[in-house]
């Protein structure tokens, strides 16, 4: 499932291609995603509208139109957003196609159809926060050792489960929770109530480092993730992966994912 870095990589890849672009046509498949595709709302609020902003909140992408409507996209387990020339042949499992006046298309493809699209009418996104139940963004100043310690209290919940709880921290899943705790030298089963403030501060530091490296590397190549140009992310890829992608990739390797039974460092 795409986590925060993968969604942010897609957002960055789409920015220059869709923001400022006018949508001239919208096509939907007859397949249901996690929820039915909101065809009428898309046609009413996004056809012939211009995209003015593209934001991310946790694992969600938010497209804002010039009429103040908003479209929220969650990629589920296998969802992808890509940019194509209109003449490019469609792919199996393309469920939504947005055609822009530029001649480009943004296509939503989802093999397992666990993703979803939600449309908010003009003014609703600003007045009715759809993400009020999400925790803090881990790349912001609100994410701190003091915040984590306060939310943890004296509970016995394993720290890995706590980091993956999107009500506490937005956007972190299994892959990156494992990596963060490895670099923070904390066993994932450690009870959150036993962690000291310096330990939480180390979690914050390593969270920012791991997520920033993953975003710079194009996300994780685990499972089906590709960026908006159809390229696989290199975070976690073998060191022989190509290094030339108009950015410095390096040879990032996942330390824990697929090695759950390997002993962690002592804390």
CATH number at residue 96: 3.20.190.10
Query: 9 and 64: one domain?
Result: yes
Instruction: Tell me the pLDDT tens digit for each residue of 250-260.
Output: 335 565 544 54
Could you give the percent of the chain with pLDDT greater than 70?
82
Query: 117 and 158: one domain?
Result: no
Task: Please give the tally of structural domains in the chain.
Answer: 2
- Contact between 157 and 151 under an 8 Å Cβ cutoff? The reply is no
Q: Give the pLDDT band (50/70/90) at residue 5.
A: very high
User: Which domain range does residue 61 map to?
Assistant: 4-127
255 falls within a domain: no
**What's the mean pLDDT when you consider all of the chain?**
86
Q: Give the pLDDT band (50/70/90) at residue 98.
A: very high
Query: 70 and 160: one domain?
Result: no
CA distance linking residue 166 with residue 154, whole number of Å: 19
201 falls within a domain: yes
Instruction: Tell me the pLDDT tens digit for each residue of 147-204.
Output: 999 999 999 999 999 999 999 999 999 999 999 999 999 999 999 999 999 999 999 9
160 falls within a domain: yes
Say which residues have a Cβ less than 8 Å from residue 227's Cβ, sequence separation at least 6: 6, 9, 10, 13, 218, 219, 233
Active site positions, annotated: 2-3
Mean pLDDT of the region 33-37: 95
Q: Give the pLDDT band (50/70/90) at residue 48.
A: very high
Query: 116 and 200: one domain?
Result: no
Q: Domain boundary residue among 64, 92, 127? A: 127
Q: Give the pLDDT band (50/70/90) at residue 126.
A: confident
Tell me how long the chain is: 267
Mean pLDDT of the region 91-107: 95
Query: 163 and 104: one domain?
Result: no
- For residue 151, give the 3-state DSSP assignment: helix
Query: 80 and 167: one domain?
Result: no
- For residue 192, give the 3-state DSSP assignment: helix
């Amino acid at each position: 499932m795409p986590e925060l870095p993968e969604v942010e990589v897609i957002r960055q890849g789409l920015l220059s291609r869709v923001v400022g672009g006018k949508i001239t046509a919208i096509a939907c498949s007859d397949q249901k995603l996690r929820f039915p595709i909101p065809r009428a709302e898309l046609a009413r609020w996004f056809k012939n509208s211009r995209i003015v902003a593209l934001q991310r909140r946790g694992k969600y992408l938010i497209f804002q139109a010039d009429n103040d409507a908003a479209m929220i996209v969650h990629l589920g387990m296998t969802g992808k957003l890509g940019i194509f020339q209109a003449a490019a042949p469609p792919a199996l499992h393309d469920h939504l196609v947005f055609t822009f006046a530029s001649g480009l298309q943004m296509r939503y493809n989802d093999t397992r159809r666990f993703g979803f699209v939600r449309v908010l009418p003009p003014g609703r996104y600003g007045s009715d926060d759809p993400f009020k139940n999400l925790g803090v963004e881990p790349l912001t100043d609100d994410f701190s050792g003091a915040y984590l310690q306060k939310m943890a209290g004296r509970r016995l919940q394993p720290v890995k489960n706590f980091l993956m709880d999107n009500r506490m921290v937005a956007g972190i899943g299994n892959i990156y929770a494992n990596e963060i705790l490895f670099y923070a030298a904390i066993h994932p089963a450690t009870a959150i109530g036993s962690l000291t403030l310096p330990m939480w501060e180390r979690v914050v530091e390593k969270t920012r480092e791991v997520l920033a490296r993953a975003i710079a590397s194009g996300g994780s190549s685990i499972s089906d993730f590709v960026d908006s140009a159809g390229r696989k992310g290199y975070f976690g890829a073998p060191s022989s992966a190509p290094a030339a992608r108009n950015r410095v990739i390096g040879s990032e390797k996942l330390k824990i994912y697929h090695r759950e039974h390997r002993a962690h460092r002592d804390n």
